[in-house]
Chains A and B, each alone.
Chain A
Amino acid sequence: MSDKIICRCEEVLLSEIVEAMKTGAQTEKELKLKTRAGMGICQGRTCRPLLEQIISFYTNKKIPQASNLTFSIPVRPLSLSALAHTGKDYKNEN
């Protein structure tokens, strides 16, 4: 059977997602903790809708309007030094 890549950043296959669901995972967060899907550099921008569809397919739950996974800053990758220089309180840090 040909498999499909669901999370490209972490290279998680559809078969791995389905296997995780068979062993009890029912939400995006559980799938993420078990398979790393959504934990890569794009933070689920590609796989989030796919995961939602898969969950909906196997649990018969509606696809949620808003994602169940939380977003956290920085919302796009930022180098550590760039992040260091954006804060107002940078000088007070010492």
Chain B
Amino acid sequence: MEIADAVVIGGGVIGTSIAYRLAEDRNVILIEKGEVGSGTSGACDKAIFLQSKQPGFPVRLAKASKEIYENLQAELEEPIEFKKGGGMIVIEKEAHLDFMKEFVKKQYKAGIDVNLLDRKETLAIQPALSETIAGSTFSTEDAEVNPLLLSQAFAAAAKRRGASIQTYTEVTGIKTQDGKITGVQTNQGYIATELVINAAGPFASQIAEMAGVGLTIMPRRGVILISEKVEPMINGNILCSQYMASKHFTSKSEKNAPSYGIGLSLGQTESGNLLIGGSREFKGYDRKVEPHVLSAIAAHACRIAPALNKIKIIRSMVGFRPYTGDGLPIIDWAREVDGFVVAAGHEGDGIALAPITGKLVTGLVNNDSKSSDLLEPLKMDRLQVV
């Protein structure tokens, strides 16, 4: 039997970020059923977008996270390929111009340096795009990071602080006594602890259930195409206004919404591979992607960026984004049992929000009043059906 001050369940960007912060003054064990960063955090794009977030609290949260990113590489003493390359949202159809104009106005008010560009200005920045697009919004504040390196870096830094990272270890039960957490049972042994952090992403509901905690987080499947290495041809990261519509306005524009929740997300890695997304579907945990989903992603990308036509796609990757229903994660104590924290449900914003999530969880368990402002809107009971 082992003893820990805290057990973090889940070794993706969220869990490793939390383990790193908690390990500062706690004896932490992180449990991961596979390898570090091999699930959702290893099947996502690399963008840290601010301008795609809803004005108001989501923007504030993303900004707080990005501030941590500014010095993260030096802090962790590991390479994470953080770069401020800027971000663009392409407006493909004239029909999207109005809501994007409105969106930019609100974003600007929220303190994000974002500008509306016409077709010519857009193509000057991204020559790979089609000449038929309507325009774009561009922000120099959007950035990017290598998500594979990010999980590894948080894990390595947590280890240096004394945390134990246990991979290939699956949680099989969570023990409680008199309404309090007393330990975690895994397939490798028992860990006595009074504090459990559920950072299991799309599997957070199953973990919560083991502790008798009700939690609804659904897996939303996302597929991204990966190309061969090519010369630099994309500057920073690109989304399309359809992505924005899929993300924020699905209920309003359902009639004309494309199949499989398609919306472009496009970027190029340091190695030269293009990441071309993506879809958003509720398919349970089914990893078998139907070929027509790939075709739909490819067709959408070809139309917006015809320069990509001849580029070869070498594989696809599938990730299950943890979906809460309102686009925000849950970072909160469970009501049903003492000592159980939920930090999951980041959906497509896990990379952007990983740094702040580690800090907020630490603030929560230390009862630090500085964090309460950002934690209030992330409480679990906001999602309860009234």
Contact = CB atoms under 8 A, between A and B. Distances in A.
Interface residues of B, number: 41
Interface string A54-94: 00000000000000001011100111110111111110111
B116 to A, nearest CB: 24
A21 to B, nearest CB: 13
A34 interface: yes
Given A33-B38, A80-B311, A81-B302, A89 B295 contact: yes
Contacts of B268: none
A88 B148 CA distance: 34
21 contacts: A10-B271, A29-B38, A33-B42, A33-B152, A34-B152, A41-B229, A70-B287, A72-B318, A74-B314, A80-B225, A80-B227, A80-B298, A80-B308, A81-B310, A83-B313, A84-B295, A88-B292, A89-B292, A89-B295, A89-B296, A93-B300
Contacts of A72: 289, 315-318
Nearest to B42: A33
Contacts, number: 108
Smallest CB-CB A-B distances: 5 pairs: A87-B295, A84-B299, A84-B298, A77-B312, A87-B292
A36 interface: yes
B258 A80 contact: no
Contacts of A89: 259, 292, 295-296
A93 to B, nearest CB: 5
B259 A41 contact: no
Contacts of A77: 228, 312-314
B302 A84 contact: yes
B275 to A, nearest CB: 12
B29 interface: no
A36 B228 contact: no
A8 to B, nearest CB: 13
B307 to A, nearest CB: 10
A79 B314 contact: no
